[in-house]
Structures are given as structure tokens and as C-alpha cells.
Amino acid sequence: MAAEAVERTSRLVRQHRGRADALIEVLHQVQELYGFLPRPALHQVARELQLPLARVYGVASFYHLFRLEPPAAHRCAVCLGTACFVKGGAELAAQLEQRLGVRLDAPAGDGSWALEHVSCLGACGQAPVLVVDGQLAPKLPLDDPRALALRFTALGLDPRP
Amino acid sequence: MTAPQSLQLRCCDASGCRSAGAGALHAALLQARDQLGGAAEGVAIKPVGCLRLCGRGPLVALDRPGSGGIYAGLTPEQAPELLAVAAGLSHGLADQRLGPDHPFFALQQPVVLEGCGRVDPTSIDDALAMGTYGQLQRVLAECTPEQVREQVKRSGLRGRGGAGYPTGLKWDTVALQPAGLRYVVCNADEGDPGAFMDRSVLESDPHRLIEGLAIAAYAVGAQQGYVYVRAEYPLAIERLQLALKQARARGLLGAGIAGSSFNLRLEVRVGAGAYVCGEETALLASIQGQRGTPRPRPPFPAQSGLWGHPTLINNVETLAAIPAIIREGGDWYGAMGTAGSKGTKVFALSGAVANTGLVEVPMGTSLRTVVLTIGGGVPGGEGPDGGVKAVQTGGPSGGCIPAALLDTPVDYESLRQLGSMMGSGGMVVMGESTAMPAVARHFMRFSVAESCGKCVPCRAGTVQLLELLDRFAEHRASLADLERLEQLCGMVQATSLCGLGQAAPNPVLSTLRHFRQEYQAACRAPQLCEPLTSCSLEAKGP
């Protein structure tokens, strides 16, 4: 994988004709390759785009969606936008912290689950919402604990043993 | 019986309804049509963008002479029944049907959203059949750039991204810069929590946006443009990319557009999760592959933007209004709305309200009409204000308007006078159970997380404000904290570098202004506070 990923990273840079303004696009694609942005990959991008490492690292660490550490196997994002907040998003986050046994926004979670917050997914009509491994789960029934537990189970959010 | 072609089911395939199961419903409808055969064969089934009442998805609109309407909350099992209704074989599903006279739809006036929910967002042929790109072609053949800008000025259109700067004036500023390269940029970095208007336009009618952007480029003399979309909107990015590809293939973008001498290259740039990139100078830095930090203005981007060249930056909704303005004329658009705020505005209505979704109404419509009549008020809410406690507008830069002021017309000036702002158009309704210091803390947390860190008042000031708000939300504040809170708000407002920092205290200041008693009740010795005779709301004790 490693050698192949290095080769593919070089190809990505060439596809963008080595232009410095493509840095964010390149980082997106490199993150897709590795699942995060490993240090050696940042070095390689800096070298091949002919940018100082500080510039590449500065951009990678500035944007929320770039991850500098390997991600947990599964990710659950709780929306804490305003509509979700009004509809009990914070309560939903607290319940999930308890259920999964991980702290909200702890960087690597417990290895198998990471629980993170997002600020708004634009799915305000369906508040409160979660995103579980990329799938949007709308209208979590906070007023009905049994129905909520069933939804959690259906989403694969099993209680920590 | 009319011609069978007029029977059509339009299935919402935007991300709201998708998350509610629109994909399975669409598949079930196609399958049911094959199985039913006969009269059902004549029913066209078409995927479209947002049908607006997002909270009740999945939605399907039925076009049928005399008995059309929108069907809400459908399950795949109901697909055969819906087809039977469409074919005129049944009168079922009546309790899920919403007619065009339903208050959510009856008062709306679609201009930006006129194609939204009607056109198939993945088909340029469908867009062309609806007249999209017609105005671009006409403008290129018949009008000078000055004439285009004249119509935009006459329309009175103001920027829909939040600040409300007159669009025509901005176009003039860019166009009248010394000769040389120019850029156009569409700001689709819709980051305000509670806002989803731009996402809906991108997902539902991307060709309209491209047409608007191309007309803008012609009017200011730009040949290169970017659409900066936030990465959190994958479906919007996918549809925009597809639409750009289709437009290039038809010669509507690229060199010599539609047989004219006008060239335009458009590219999509995807953000990486930074709210501050909605600020125009930060957005430009991000397009150039840098950290998205704002810089002082002047020079304004209209004078010196991307790579130092004059750059026009407009929001999605602003640009999507352009084709209709060019088609019907600036005066037509300017006749809608109020003296200072012309035209229509799209709002994303959500929170504690019965009907959530997209609402496009003329500027100057009262909050009461939007929230109570169109929105249906708080579910189970009673009284003249329908259980509404406050309406939040303008996202983290805006404020909360109390129920007592629901008769306020929604326009730029009225909202600003109340300590809130139009913002991009998010409108979140709050019921009696929402505590205002907690709302202010919610927004301050957001501002702390999203401060880019470049200037001290915003980077450190928001952290201090959050600590103070924690005390109020947890009922352990002192009277001195109240004073400190107000002072610090004033300091952050006055001294931050960019609009986001300057506006970060707004949610605190507006809730302090309209719900001061809640902050006082959160103090350890509320009896020492000055009496508040002007407030009608009851204070809630700890």
C-alpha cells in the first residue's frame, strides 16, 4: 500500500500540474488515499508542489476536515447546528457519549468509535440528525427512549459492553 | 381525460428527502408502474430537487389537471396507491395530500426557486426545456455589459449572503477597474448553522446558478470563475460538477459561448471545513490554496482579489436571481419587496415549528406570516403567538427576535434595528422551553471553534465570552459578570478584524436586549438587579 500510495500521490500532484493553489484539492485526495494525512505524505506533497513544509502543515492543520491522526474505525457525528440544538442535539450527544463510552470530540475515540460534533449539515428540516459512517440519520426521536434505542441499534450504535 | 403526458410524479431527490428514504420510494414507484401497467404506464416519474417542505419528506408532487398536489411522508409500500391516484384510478392518500392552497405553499412567491422541484437537476435537456441559458444566450447576442449591469442596478438586488451590499454597484466597481484580468467567484460556503437555501439551489437547479454566474462574468468582463462549495455538501458538489460538464459539452461554457466571442472557464473549489471561509477575503485565500484567514479591507476584492486581480464575489442566491431579473427586467424585480430591500428572499425555516423547509417570500413579509402562517407555529403551541418565544435570524452573526416583535417586516434595515440581521436566511424558531443564555452560549461555542485565530479580540475574546456565558447557563453568575459580559461584547465588536469577529457578540447582545431578565435570574443574587418594568416575560428562576 505505502509504495503505491506514494506513487499515486505523485500522480495527483502531476494531475494538478504542480500548481501551489491546488494544495487543498491535493490534500483532500491524499486523505482519501490514507484515511488521514500521515506526516510522510505531507513531506511528499510539500516537496512535489515545491512549497515549504510549514505552508503545507499550516493548511492541513487549519481546516477541520483534514485529519492528522488515523481515524477510528467508525465515526458518528452529532449535528449541533441551531435547529438541532433547539430540538435537543446536546441531549442526543450526551446519550451517545454514555452509550458508546467515548467523549464527544475526543480525537481518536476509543479506537472503534469516534464521536464528533458538526456545526450544521443543512438538514435542519429533519432535526435532530446524526451522520453515522457517512449516512445521514434524520429525526431522532428524543421524546421516545425505546424508539430511540431501536434507531441507535439499527444504525449499528451498539452499547459498549 | 387529457393527454397522458400531463400526468407526472415529481419525486424529491434532494438530500433532505433522500435521508428520509426518497431513494427507496422512487425505486418502488418505478417498480409499481411496471407491475400495474395499463393507465399507470402514462404516468411520468421524474426525479427533481427540493419540494421545500423538508420536514415532511419524502415528498412527491403530482401534476394532474384539476387534482394535483404534494404528497408527504410517503413509504415505499404506498407507491402502488400513489400511482393509482396519479392515473385517476383511486382517491386514496387524501390525508397525506397538501394542495397548492396549503398555507405553506400559498403565500410563497418563487423567483430564485422557480425551477427548484420542477427541473431534473441532473439533466441539461430538462433545464434547457425550462428556458435555462436562454437569458445568457440573449444577453450575449443583444446586450452590452453596461446594459446588463443597468438592469441589475434597476432591480435593487442586494447581496443575499448577509451583508446586503447592492449587487449592481459591486458589478460596476469590478467592471470599471483598469483593463486586465478579472475573476468571478460564487460563494457557496454556506456555513451558518440553520441555513440550507444555497444547498437546495445547488442540489435542485444548478444550471440556473451557472447561467447567473456566466451573465455576471460577461457583465464585468471576467473569463475565469470559481464556485467555492463547502465540503459538507457532497450531493451539491456532485450535481454542480455534472452540470458544469454538461454545460461545457453544449458550448454554454468554455471558448466562444453560444457562438459569441465571450469565453468563460468555471471550476469548482471544495472547502475543507472552515466557517471563516465564508468571509470574502478568507474565501479568496482558500481558493489560492492557503489558510482561510481574512485580511483587512480595503483593498476590497472588487479592486484586488484573486492573485491581485479585480474579483466579483456573489452568493449563490444572489446569482440565482439574475436570470429572472434579466428575463423580466430590473423594474419587475424592484416592484417586489420594500423601499430598501427589493425582491424576494429565500428563508430556511427550522427549529420548533410545524412546517420546516424552504420559504421564498417578498421582502417585507412579516415574521408573523412566515413563522405562524407559513410555518404553522410551534407544534402544540397556544396563544396569539403560537407558542413562539423567539425567532433566531442571521446565524452566529444575528440575534433572537422576541415573540412580541413578530409583526416586524423581514428586511435588511428592520432586522438590523432589532440587533439581529438578515444573514444568509436561516430562521430558527424557538419555543418556551429554550433558555436564551443557553442559546447565546451555543453560538459562542460555535464562534470559539470557528475563530481563525488571526486577531486577538476574536481569538481570545470569544473564549472569555464563552466562560462568562457558562456561568449564566449554569446559574452561577454574579452581577459583575453581567457588566463584564456587556463590556467585552462591545470590545470584540469594535476591534475584531473581520465581519465574523465583529458580529460574534450579536447573539449575546440581542438576547441581553430582549431577554435580560433571564440573565438576571441566572445571577446568584437576582433581587439586586434593577427592576425590569418594560419586559412582559416572566423570569425563570434557577
Q: Residue B121, preceding bond cis, omega within 30 degrees?
A: no
- Residues B382, B305, single domain; the answer is no
Closest chain B C-alpha to A149 CA, distance in angstroms: 18
Q: What is the least distance, in Å, from the CA of A102 to any CA of chain B? A: 20
CATH of A74-154 among 3.40.50.300, 3.40.30.10, 3.40.50.2020, 3.40.50.11810: 3.40.30.10
Whether residues B183 and B222 fall in one domain? yes
3-state secondary structure of B430: strand
Q: Which of B83, B101, B119 is the last residue of a domain?
A: B101
**Residue A7: per-residue pLDDT:** 95
Same structural domain, B192 and B262: yes
Same domain membership, residue B363 and residue B225 = no
The answer to whether A120 contacts B194, with C-beta atoms less than 8 Å apart, is yes
For chains A and B, CB pairs below 8 A equal 139
Indicate whether B107 belongs to any domain.
Answer: no
B186 and B329 share one domain: yes
- Read off the pLDDT of residues B445-487 as tens digits, 9 standing for 90 and up: 999 999 999 999 999 999 999 999 999 999 999 999 999 999 9
CATH code where residue B381 lies: 3.10.20.600
Residues of B in contact with A59 (CB under 8 A): 289-291
Residue B112 belongs to a domain: no
Rounded CA Rg of chain A:
19
What is the tally of structural domains in chain B?
Answer: 4
For residue B529, what are the domain limits? Answer: 436-539
pLDDT for the residue numbered A94? 95
| B208: in domain | yes
Determine which helix (DSSP H) or strand (DSSP E) holds B406, and give its type and residue range: none
Which residue, B283, B300, B334, sits at the end of a domain? B334
How many angstroms separate the CA atoms of B85 and B374, rounded?
A: 27
Is B181 in the same domain as B300?
A: yes
**CB contact A136 to B (< 8 Å):** yes
Q: What is the pLDDT of residues B344-391, one digit of tens each?
A: 999 999 999 999 999 999 999 999 999 999 999 999 999 999 999 999
CA distance B447 to B464: 12
pLDDT at B540: 40
* Sequence-ordered list of residues with C-beta below 8 angstroms from that of B270, at least 6 positions apart, any chain: A24, A25, A28, B229, B230, B231, B237
- Claim to verify: residue B282 and residue B401 sit in the same structural domain: no
- Whether the pLDDT of residue B335 is over 80: the answer is yes
pTM of the model: 0.94
Mention every residue, 6+ apart, whose C-beta is less than 8 A from residue B388.
B352, B371, B372, B377, B378, B381, B403, B406, B429, B430, B431
**Residue B111 counted as domain residue:** no
Q: Tens digit of pLDDT for each residue in B125-177?
A: 999 999 999 999 999 999 999 999 999 999 999 999 988 999 999 999 999 99
User: Domain boundaries in chain A?
Assistant: 3-62, 74-154
Does B1 score more than 50 pLDDT? no
Question: What pLDDT shows up at residue B534?
Answer: 44
Q: Considering B408, B431, B454, which residue would you say is the last residue of a domain? A: B431
State the complex-level ipTM: 0.93
Residue range A101-115: mean pLDDT, rounded: 83
Query: Out of B231, B275, B286, whose CB is closest to A119?
Result: B275
Is B429 in Cβ contact with A85 (below 8 Å)? no
Residue B222 has pLDDT above 90, yes or no: yes
pLDDT digits (tens, 9 = 90+) for B287-306: 999 999 999 999 999 999 99
Compute the nearest-CA separation of B351 from chain A (Å).
Answer: 4
| Cross-chain residue pair A125–B193, CB shorter than 8 Å | no
* In a shared domain, residues B74 and B136: no
For residues B197 and B424, give the distance between their C-alpha atoms in angstroms, rounded to a whole number: 8
Closest CA to B401 of B442, B433, B367: B367
pLDDT for the residue numbered A111: 73
- Whole-number pLDDT of residue B538: 44
HEC profile of A136-152: EECCCCCCCHHHHHHHH
